Structure 1
Amino acid sequence: MRITLLAVGRLRKSPELSLIDDYLDRFAKTGRSLGLPPVQVIEVEDKRGGGMSAEAPLIDRAIPAAAFVIMMDERGEQPTSPDFARKIATLRDQSRDICFVIGGADGLDPALRSRADWQISFGRMVWPHMLVRVMLAEQLYRAASILAGSPYHRA
């Protein structure tokens, strides 16, 4: 099993990068004993600024073959943290690779969104794509904590 976080844009040294690194490190440490591998981060960038339609082929080429594709989209389902943890565990138990996709500032191209196996949202509000990375990293750590029976998630 491999877990990939595929995102549009390059995240430079910033408070967001520090948070992402912290949560993904916590996930790696907690997930190790649960059979969850460290998350691989792949960043793609359309240097010409062509928006969703230019970003779509870059994203499409970077999605690992046969991965279960989870796209972050404001129109997606809003699972609870325990539901999210159960989905991660199910995919782990099926030995499925997982690829989380976060689009750029304009979101994801509709044709690309149709490729998703699951679309999820962090609420009906729109979030900056760089903050979505932080929130996803935290939810991955929370999922591993839930699966490990840790008190981090207070249900």
Structure 2
Amino acid sequence: MLLAVGRGRQGPEAALFAHHNARLRPPLTLRELPEGVGAAAEIRRREAEAILAALPEGALAVALDLGGTMPDSEELAALSARWEASGKPVAFVIGGAEGLDPAVLGRAETRLSLGRLTWPHLLVRGLLAEALFRAQCIRTNHPYHRGWRPG
């Protein structure tokens, strides 16, 4: 499951997400949540209420956050194997423009960063789907990931 603040629209970002999500087994179920309004703290609080209410009971929450760990593809494959072995449903969380409220970060079992760069929230959906697809390929020894290539 992917919980994302904001509404997607037609365009290359949506196409990127759709392309890689369709390759995932199983694909992520996307649930879009409304953006908060008000001052930054109020926006985060309102979005946190919606996120926490939308998280399935007992789900393993993975928050996409600049302050999170930055695994490489092989490390993400190992993480995803551990998440799968937990037997819990996994819910990835992408906040809005103001970031995630501490209540959401506190609820998350893992904080995951896609790097130190700031990415548009709609693009993060596609980047996450591709990274998860690559992790699945690594775990199944599919040649999509070319781990032999120098960094």
Q: Which of these residues, 8, 16, 20, is aligned with residue 11 of structure 1?
A: 8
Counterpart position of 1:94: 86
Query: The residue matched to 2:29 in structure 1 has which SS?
Result: strand
CA deviation after TM superposition for structure 1 residue 19, in Å: 0.7
What is the 5 A alignment of 1:1-155? 4-27=1-24, 31=25, 37-46=26-35, 48=37, 51-155=43-147
Q: Match of 1:124, as an amino acid?
A: R
- Give 5+ residue unaligned stretches, structure 2: none
RMSD, matched Cα: 1.4
The one-character-per-residue Cα deviations of 1:2-37 (angstroms, maximum 9, x if unpaired) are: xx011001101111111100000111xxx3xxxxx2
Q: Percent identical across equivalent pairs? A: 42
CA deviation after TM superposition for structure 1 residue 47, in Å: 6.0
Give distance in 1, aligned partners of 2:86 and 2:114.
Answer: 25
Give distance in 1, aligned partners of 2:115 and 2:35.
Answer: 27
Q: Which runs of 4+ in 1 moved over 6 A?
A: none
The one-character-per-residue Cα deviations of 1:109-139 (angstroms, maximum 9, x if unpaired) are: 1222111100010111221111111110111
Q: Number of aligned pairs?
A: 144
